[in-house]
Structure 1
Amino acid sequence: MKFAVIGAGAMGLRYGILLAEAGNEVTYIDTWQPHIDQIKKQGGVYVMRDHQDRHLVPIKLDTPETYQGDPDMFIFFVKQMQLADYLKSCAHFIDRRKHYAFTCMNGMGHIEKLQQYFDDDKIIGGTALIATVLPGPGEVDFMGKRGAGKMNMCPLNEKPDKMCFNLFEELKKAQMNPTLTTDFTGTLMTKVIFNSVINTICTMFEIQMGEFGNFKGAYEMGRLLIDEAYDVCARAGIKLVSSRDEEMEALDHNTRIDMPLHYPSMYQDMSKDRPTEVDYINGYIVKLGRKYHYEAHTHQFVTQAVHLAEFHRQNLAKQRAATK
């Protein structure tokens, strides 16, 4: 298959490189100029796995202005707050009746934006429990052994077609361990709830996932957030793909066993003074709850706590700048 990966960040590179290794044609589209310049300068991306075996992988990289391809499918891996601008800049080469869009972006809000450019039967959403880090421009670190991690995928109309099955097979060849589910909203929301615990708590306290998982109060903290989110989804009529207990088991396994040394993507953003996606994760749960006359107080507190952590870092940066 021919793929165009919009967003050559950590996850975009991981999906694209593994799909290319599986025999597919992959082009990347990005707008971060230091990243683009470094990749052009060194002739590709330096790829590591768990900080080891650093090697150069040549890739084809364009900007929205220079891209002239006609892929079978676009893969979107950008931040929620960046997606609208990316879509606008890429609109001239997207044919909504022809092209497919696939994404495993974190949070909620992106599907509605994709619907403005792609027909509903051409949109495939998904979730990924796959850890990847972008240490800096021109390099990426795949966390976990090859084949580690898993993902879910589901077409927006919940009617898989030939292209959806082709994508599934290519992701399987790439060892992304995909599962094709039958409930679109339930699939995406289950991951949102997972992230609403791990991403936000680790970001607030600037800790690795394993430090949270091994904390004796982790279960109680996680259970509060999960129960509240599941209560919201029950009122909204959203059927999640795992039970509350299964979600807790997944949290425990991922934090203590699969990815104990990993810093979640939300922390990676905050540590680089980029805006976090907390409003699209915990904040989304709060808004969904209010729509159905339920106040998700714990998620509201956590949302503001992450913003407070961002605010604190910004103040520290201003203080350091003032003393220079």
Structure 2
Amino acid sequence: MKLTIIGAGAMGLRYGILLQEAGNDVTFVDTWQPHIEKIKEQGGVYVMRDHKDRHLEKIKLETPETYNDDPEVFIFFTKQMQLDDYLKRCAHFINRKKHYAFTCMNGMGHIEKLQEYFADDRIIGGTALIATILPGPGEVDFMGKRGAGKMNMCPLNEKPDEMCQRLFDELEKAQINPTLTDDFTGTLMTKVIFNSVINTICTMFQIQMGEFGNFPGAYKMGRQLIDEAYDICARAGIKLVSSREEEMSALDHNTRIDMPLHYPSMYQDMSKNRPTEVDYINGYIANLGRKYHYEAKTHTFVTQAVHLAEFHQQNLAKA
């Protein structure tokens, strides 16, 4: 397939490079100038796996202004707060009725933005349980052995077509381990709730996921956030793809067994003085609750606690 990755950050590079290795024609589009310059200077991206086997992978990289091609699918991996700007800068090469958009971005709010540029029957959403780090410009670190991690995907109209199946097949070849689900909102919200525990708590306390998973009070903390979110989704009529107990089990397994040494992407952003996506995760859950007359006090508190951690980090950087 001919694919274009919009956002050559940690996850964009992981998906794009693995899809390229699986035989697809992949181009990356990015706007971070130090990253672009480093990749051009090196002739590619330095790729590691679990901090080892650093090697150079050649990639095709453009900016929104220099890109001029016609892929079958655009794959979006920007941060939530970056997506508007990316879409405006990429609008000249997006054909609403022809091109497909696929995304596994964290949080909620991006689908509505994509709907302004792509037809509903050409939007495929997804979620990823895959850990990747961008140590700096021009390099990426895939966490976990080849084939580690998994993802869910579902078309916005919940009617998989030939293009959706082709993309699924290529993701499978790339060992990204996709599962095709049949409930779009439930699929995305289940991951938002997952991230509302691990990403935010680890970021607040600047700890690895295993430190949280092994804390004796982890279950109670996680369960409080999950119960609020599940209560809200029940009021909103959102059918989640896992039960509360299944979500707790996944949290435990992910933190203690799968990725105990990993710092979540939200912490990585904060540690580099970039804005976090907490407003699109815990903040989104709290706002959804208010819409259905439910005050999610824990999610509201955690949202502000992460902003306090950001504020503290910014002050440290200035000192």
Output the CA distance in 2 between the equivalents of 1:189 and 1:21: 31
Which residue number in structure 1 is paired with residue 180 of structure 2? 180
Which residue number in structure 2 is paired with residue 217 of structure 1? 217
How far the C-alpha of 1:145 sits from its partner, in A, is: 0.4
How far the C-alpha of 1:313 sits from its partner, in A, is: 1.2
Output the CA distance in 1 between the equivalents of 2:47 and 2:29: 18
* CA distances 1:195-217 after superposition (whole Å, capped 9, x unpaired): 00000000000000000000010
Instruction: Give the partner amino acid of 1:304.
Output: Q
How far the C-alpha of 1:245 sits from its partner, in A, is: 0.2
Output the CA distance in 1 between the equivalents of 2:261 and 2:2: 34
Q: Does 1:289 align with 2:285?
A: no
How far the C-alpha of 1:15 sits from its partner, in A, is: 0.2
Which residue number in structure 1 is paired with residue 56 of structure 2? 56
- Identical amino acids, percent of aligned pairs: 85
Instruction: Give the partner amino acid of 1:233.
Output: C
How far the C-alpha of 1:315 sits from its partner, in A, is: 1.7
Provide TM-score, normalisation by structure 2: 1.00
Instruction: Give the partner amino acid of 2:99.
Output: H
Output the CA distance in 2 between the equivalents of 1:23 and 1:317: 43
Instruction: Give the partner amino acid of 2:50.
Output: D
Output the CA distance in 1 between the equivalents of 2:60 and 2:282: 36
Instruction: Give the partner amino acid of 2:214.
Output: N
Output the CA distance in 2 between the equivalents of 1:270 and 1:314: 9
Provide TM-score, normalisation by structure 1: 0.98
How far the C-alpha of 1:314 sits from its partner, in A, is: 1.4
RMSD: 0.4
Output the CA distance in 1 between the equivalents of 2:220 and 2:297: 16
Unaligned runs of 5+ in 1: none
Output the CA distance in 1 between the equivalents of 2:229 and 2:93: 38
Output the CA distance in 2 between the equivalents of 1:288 and 1:202: 23
Which residue number in structure 2 is paired with residue 309 of structure 1? 309
Output the CA distance in 2 between the equivalents of 1:99 and 1:219: 43
Output the CA distance in 1 between the equivalents of 2:312 and 2:168: 43
State the number of aligned residues: 319
Instruction: Give the partner amino acid of 1:251.
Output: L
How far the C-alpha of 1:317 sits from its partner, in A, is: 2.0
Unaligned runs of 5+ in 2: none
Poorly superposed stretches of 4+, deviation over 4 Å: none
* CA distances 1:106-134 after superposition (whole Å, capped 9, x unpaired): 00000000000000000000000000000
Which residue number in structure 1 is paired with residue 44 of structure 2? 44
Output the CA distance in 2 between the equivalents of 1:42 and 1:109: 35
